[in-house]
Amino acid sequence: MNSTEYRNWVNDKLNIGEDVLYLSMQDVIDTGTTAEEIIELTERAMIAYSAKKVEMPAKIGLHPQPDSLMHAMPAYLPDEFACGIKWGSNFPTTRERFPGLTPTNCQIIYNDHESGLPLAFLDATWITEVRTPAVSLVAAKYLANLDATTFGMYGCGIQGKAHVKMIEHVLTKLETIYVYDLYEAAMDKLIEQCQPLVNARIVKASSYEQVAKNCEVIASAIPIHHHPHPVVKDEWISKGQTLIACDCHSVYEDGVYKRADIYTVDSEEQHRLLETYGYYPWGLPEIYAETGAVAGGLKPGRSSKDQLIVSNNVGMAVEDMMVARRVFDRALEKDLGIRLPLWKSTK
Ligand SMILES: NC(=O)c1ccc[n+]([C@@H]2O[C@H](COP(=O)([O-])OP(=O)(O)OC[C@H]3O[C@@H](n4cnc5c(N)ncnc54)[C@H](O)[C@@H]3O)[C@@H](O)[C@H]2O)c1
């Protein structure tokens, strides 16, 4: 379908300019978009970004509470006719302060790329939940030793669980998954929810050190502090390991990043901006390439079993908009959501 055909297809199902489709999180899930699709879409988005085939300014943000963030994330993917903005937040204290509510919450305004009019307002919390581990999986696919039998997860919250549920899509030989969290209850809950869904045995680790010393590939998703307090010592990390972070430099001592043989980020522009906000008090390490440039073959990935590789990905709006396009199309096909009146043309 070309751009006009696609717009006509949408307009047949939704009166563009008069109605806007509201999709709750349940509607988004009910589209039936699978983990495999999300991994494939996320990889395509990362490759398109690093090939400079999209428009995506670095995200800007507000910080209403200590260590909280609210990010404005616009993106346009011309090849997908996908365009919109995500407004995503993480308030680490929400769970304690407001029991029953979760710390990460996101919404997307999804727009018509030909007129700019809004097409949909959708919950993007689930999209964020699954596309974030998908980014880590893309990093693992090109940067990890794929015969790894051990995987570690720092942080057993929403992201920790989503990573553990999805990691075997790429690391197919896993035998043991070590998980660690400040809170015992978070580890127990992860094991209860994830063990029935994965083949590898999930082990509750007793310390950061146990994970660091036993896992070939480690992902991390703990709260991002504006002034990081690294908990994993440089001396615990060895050559050959792959460390994938979706929490900036929250976990490892700075020496780990600086001695890595390969250090990738999802968006160089984004991380340089975050550096000016003070997220990397010891300075960004030398960036070898964007993760999407490695996935797209512009730069080689892992070339030897012994390389220490770090991939630090903060998340990009192109991933959200790529997935949003699929979700939006499916919602129209399945007649999901609620149509809200936008306005009546006075012409
Ligand atoms: N890169 C991205 O695209 C992206 C997307 C979503 C979330 N995130 C980030 O991922 C992180 C986790 O998000 P979430 O939604 O899973 O939050 P969450 O609150 O559900 O999970 C965080 C977990 O970390 C644990 N924790 C806190 N401090 C810890 C420490 N020092 N050591 C070990 N565990 C610790 C908490 O107990 C909790 O279980 C946040 O920093 C968030 O900003 C990144």
Q: What is the CATH number of the domain that holds 41?
A: 3.30.1780.10
CA of residue 106 to ligand 1 center, whole Å: 15
For ligand 1, whether the C-beta of 111 sits within 6 Å is no
For ligand 1, whether the C-beta of 158 sits within 6 Å is yes
At 64, phi and psi to the nearest 5?
Answer: -65, -25
Considering the domain architecture, whether residues 309 and 180 belong to the same structural domain is answered as: yes
On whether residue 346 sits in a domain, the answer given is: no
For atom 10 of ligand 1, which residue has the closest CA?
221
For ligand 1, whether the C-beta of 130 sits within 6 Å is no
Considering the domain architecture, whether residues 137 and 251 belong to the same structural domain is answered as: yes
Number of domains in the chain: 2
For atom 5 of ligand 1, which residue has the closest CA?
132
CB 234 within 8 A of CB 209: no
Q: Whole-angstrom Cα distance, residue 132 to residue 115? A: 30
Specify which residues 69 forms β-bridges with: 90
Q: Report CA dihedral (151, 287, 246, 108) to the nearest 10 degrees.
A: -140
Q: Integer distance in angstroms from the first to the last C-alpha of the chain?
A: 30
Residue 85 structural domain: 3-128+318-341
CA of residue 247 to ligand 1 center, whole Å: 7
Considering the domain architecture, whether residues 136 and 108 belong to the same structural domain is answered as: no
CA of residue 226 to ligand 1 center, whole Å: 14
Write down the pLDDT at residue 343: 74
Report which ligand 1 atom has the smallest distance to the Cα of 186: 39
Instruction: Give the CATH number of the domain where residue 286 resides.
Output: 3.40.50.720
Rg of the chain, C-alpha, whole Å:
20
Q: Is 229 exposed, middle or buried (0-12, 13-18, 19+ CB in 10 A)?
A: exposed
Write down the pLDDT at residue 94: 94
Considering the domain architecture, whether residues 233 and 282 belong to the same structural domain is answered as: yes
In what side-by-side order are the strands of the sheet with 19-23? 60-62, 69-77, 82-90, 104-111, 118-123, 19-23, 338-341
For ligand 1, whether the C-beta of 133 sits within 6 Å is no
On whether residue 347 sits in a domain, the answer given is: no
For atom 25 of ligand 1, which residue has the closest CA?
155
Write down the pLDDT at residue 227: 81
| Sequence-separated contacts (24+) of 183-192 with Cβ below 8 Å | 183/156, 186/156, 186/157, 186/160, 187/156, 189/156, 189/161, 190/153, 190/156, 190/160, 190/161, 190/164
Considering the domain architecture, whether residues 7 and 99 belong to the same structural domain is answered as: yes
Considering the domain architecture, whether residues 240 and 276 belong to the same structural domain is answered as: yes
Considering the domain architecture, whether residues 187 and 272 belong to the same structural domain is answered as: yes
Q: Whole-angstrom Cα distance, residue 312 to residue 267? A: 9
Considering the domain architecture, whether residues 163 and 228 belong to the same structural domain is answered as: yes
Best of 67, 104, 179, 227 to mutate for ligand 1, by most ligand atoms within 8 A of CB?
104
pTM for this prediction: 0.96
pLDDT along the chain (347 residues), means of 10: 95 95 98 97 98 95 92 97 97 93 96 97 97 98 98 97 98 98 97 98 98 98 87 98 95 97 97 90 95 98 97 97 98 97 70
For atom 41 of ligand 1, which residue has the closest CA?
223
CB 97 within 8 A of CB 81: no
Structure token pair of residue 33? 């978009």
